[in-house]
Amino acid sequence: MKKKDYFEELDKLHLELVKLQFHIKKNKLKVCVLFEGRDAAGKGGVIKRIAQRMNPRIVRVVALGKPTDQERSQWYFQRYVNQLPAAGTMVLFDRSWYNRAGVERVMGFCTDAEYREFLRSVPEFERMLQNSGLILVKYWLQVSPDIQEKRFQERVTDPIKRWKVSPMDYEARRRWMDYTRARDAMFEHTDLPGSPWFVVNGNNKKKARLNCIKHLLSVIPYEDDLPDPDDDFPELEIDPNYEPSAAFGQHLVPEYF
């Protein structure tokens, strides 16, 4: 996809996302969007483009790290519940409670009993969220083995991207089929009529971003609630006799550029 075409489409979608943002705030909606998928599938890129032009007080990204000892002793969903949206906001989860069905299952970070209980209880949990008025959208970004391999090589060789590679990534490469089976089991138990999984082809990053944003806009009905421009925008009131404090500007940052 040509860069020019990509950015033209992205600009159009950003305008619609801003309209959605105003609609969410005006109507006090609670929107929760989950992004799951293999490493290097493009989750972060999609999330970044959705939030790029939006107010961070209204649209918030949640990417939780490794749970603490205290969090491990809590009800499994508890730390995710603390991050759910309030009225008039949207939360984008970069990985979510589905960690238990993926990395925790494959890497042995949970017991078989905990895993089975998760698959049993997560449909009930999500119905509770929806019954409370929360709008839940779930995305799985799919990437092929050869494209994932290419992106991993880019991360290893590019110093700017090297932070994205962790020991867990190397282990995940050795367990490709284990992750595949875990994904299939997760879909069998949690791809439900009320909260389906929407699968995004992530092999082409630009197209994946556009397709996912376009789809998100289609599943959340919204109206154009953009405020009209204010014709009576006040002029700046500047006192010509004002003198700044002597303390101001004593530690200016050098103009390197």
| Cα angle 196-200-204, degrees, rounded to a multiple of 5 | 175
**Residue 230 within any structural domain of the chain:** no
Task: Answer yes or no: is 239 within a domain.
Answer: no
Distance of CA 105 to the CA centre of its chain: 22
Tell whether 152 is covered by a domain: yes
Contact criterion met (CB below 8 Å) for 44 and 82: no
Extract the residue ranges of the chain whose pLDDT is less than 70: 231
Measure the CA angle with vertex 14, ends 8 and 17; round to 5°.
150
Number of domains in the chain: 1
CA 224 to chain CA centroid, nearest Å: 23
Residue 13 lies inside a defined structural domain of this protein: yes
In a domain, 167, yes or no: yes
**From residue 235, how far is each of 106, 107, 114, 149, 238 by CA, in Å?**
61, 61, 62, 56, 9
DSSP state of 195: B
CATH code of the domain covering residue 204: 3.40.50.300
Q: Does residue 119 form part of some domain? A: yes
Residue 37 is predicted with a pLDDT of: 96
Query: Could you tell me if residue 161 is inside a domain?
Result: yes
Tell me whether residue 246 is in a domain.
no
Please report, to the nearest 10 degrees, the dihedral formed by the alpha carbons of residues 190, 191, 192, 196 taken in order.
120
Q: Are 143 and 38 in contact (CB under 8 A)?
A: yes
User: Residue 35 is part of which domain span?
Assistant: 3-219
Res 170: pLDDT = 81
Looking from the CA of 67 toward its CB, the CA atoms found within 13 Å total: 19
Query: Can you give the pLDDT at residue 110?
Result: 96
pLDDT at position 234 is 83
Prediction pTM value: 0.92
DSSP string, 143-192: --HHHHHHHHHHHHH-TTTGGG--HHHHHHHHTHHHHHHHHHHHHHHH-B
pLDDT at 226: 87
